[in-house]
Every structure is written in structure tokens, then in C-alpha cells.
């Protein structure tokens, strides 16, 4: 079995790990291994879903207008608001 050594760990992080391990009746090493396993397992699932979600957005904003027209519309919507009864503001 491999051994992992971590250096220069923040004292607060170490205390947090120590407390977390104690609450779960684990050693600090067991707690770190569990955290790493959970992170790697969940990260792989999220990455796959995030990738599919990102790919589904391809072509979702198709606009035939020029970039200048789009930015002008955005700028106008920011400066012409009546949301708070104040006109000519940058953000509403």
C-alpha cells in the first residue's frame, strides 16, 4: 500500500481534519483517504455531467445581429431601467 506525506499543511485545516476524524471514530489518515475517495468519485460524475451540459449549450445563443448591435442592446437595457423608479442608471 502506498504512503502519502503532506507537508506545510495549515494548522486550521489539520485541526479540522482531526476533529472530523474524531467525530467519525477514524484516524486522521483514514479520514483523509475517505475524503479523497469521495472527492474523486463525485468529481468524475460531476465532470461528465458538466461536460454534457456544456456541450448541450453549443449553438444555444444564435443571433444574426452584429456584435455592435448586441452590445448596444445590452448597454441600453442597463441604462434604461425603471425597476427602482430611477432612470439613466448603469445597473439596476
Per-residue pLDDT tens listing for the chain (92 residues): 888 898 999 899 999 999 999 999 999 999 999 999 988 887 665 656 777 777 777 766 677 888 899 888 888 877 665 655 655 555 54
Q: How many domains in the chain?
A: 1
Helix 28-56 vs helix 11-23: crossing angle, to nearest 10: 100
Is residue 43 a part of any domain in this protein? yes
19 located within any domain: yes
Residues 21 and 30 sit within 8 Å (Cβ to Cβ): yes
Flag whether 38 is in a domain.
yes
Residue 81 domain-assigned (yes or no)? no
26 belongs to a structural domain: yes
41 is a domain residue: yes
pTM (2 decimals)? 0.47
Q: Which pLDDT belongs to residue 28?
A: 93
Quick check: is 85 in a domain?
no
Domain assignment of residue 35, given as a range: 11-48
Amino acid at each position: 500500500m502506498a504512503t502519502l506525506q503532506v507537508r506545510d499543511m495549515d494548522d486550521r485545516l489539520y485541526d479540522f481534519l482531526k476533529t472530523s476524524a474524531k467525530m467519525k471514530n477514524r484516524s486522521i489518515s483514514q479520514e483523509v483517504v475517505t475524503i479523497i475517495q469521495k472527492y474523486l468519485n463525485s468529481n468524475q460524475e460531476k465532470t461528465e455531467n458538466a461536460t454534457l451540459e456544456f456541450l448541450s449549450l453549443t449553438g444555444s445563443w444564435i443571433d444574426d445581429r452584429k456584435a455592435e448591435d448586441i452590445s448596444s442592446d445590452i448597454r441600453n437595457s442597463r441604462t434604461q431601467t425603471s425597476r427602482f423608479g430611477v432612470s439613466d442608471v448603469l445597473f439596476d
